Amino acid sequence: MNTSPPRVATLADLDAIAPLFDAYRQFYAQPPDPALATRFIRERMQNNESAILLAFDANARAIGFCQLYPSFCSVEAQPIYVLYDLFVAPEARRTGAGKALLLAAEQLAIANGKVRMDLTTARVNARAQSLYESLGWVRDKVFYAYSRHPGMKEPT
């Protein structure tokens, strides 16, 4: 399967991105919710809160996406991107679409003055980890990542 170079998505691409985003959420054990996926992506795009890259097959069908959130690194005192979402449709995996999205994300980061990109992935997602490392991403061996949902009861 041939792919064309990824490009920055616009609001006109919402109908192509939303099903991929919904499938991405399902990959991480969330229930299907096309309306939620559409609303979430629409809001990010309307509010300029993220940059989304889309990958297409030779028939111009969207097969993958990458979503980057602008942020900052306080230690470096510089702007960065958090690459939060990367997804390629199962039937389009091993076509180079994921690699193309990561390389396009790096070019977008350079063009937008970002000094670094950060990402996290599931420990069991060995295929993605292999791709990241093949492109020069370095696994953090210094810091642990923690999360907390505000307002949740503290453990006893």
* Residue 129 Cα to chain centre, angstroms: 14
| Average confidence (pLDDT) over 12-27 | 97
Q: How many CB atoms lie within 10 A of CB 32?
A: 11
Q: What is the pLDDT of residue 122?
A: 86
**Residue 15 above 70 pLDDT?**
yes
Quick one: residue 115, left, alpha or beta (phi over 0 = left, psi -120 to 50 = alpha)?
alpha
Which pLDDT does position 145 carry in this prediction?
Answer: 84
Flag whether pLDDT at 133 surpasses 90. yes
Does pLDDT of 125 surpass 90? no
* pLDDT for 13: 97
pLDDT at 2: 66
8 Å CB contact between 22 and 74? no
Domains of the chain and any CATH numbers: 3-134 (3.40.630.30)
Alpha carbon dihedral 99, 27, 139, 72, in 10-degree steps, equals: 90
The model's pLDDT over 89-120, given as tens digits with 9 standing for 90+, comes to 999 999 999 999 999 999 999 999 999 999 99
By percentage, how much of the chain surpasses pLDDT 70?
97
Tell me the average pLDDT across 140-146: 88
Q: What is the 8-class DSSP label of residue 152?
A: P
Smallest CA-to-CA distance from 94 within 14, 3, 26, 10 is with 3
Q: For residues 5-29, give the mean pLDDT.
A: 96
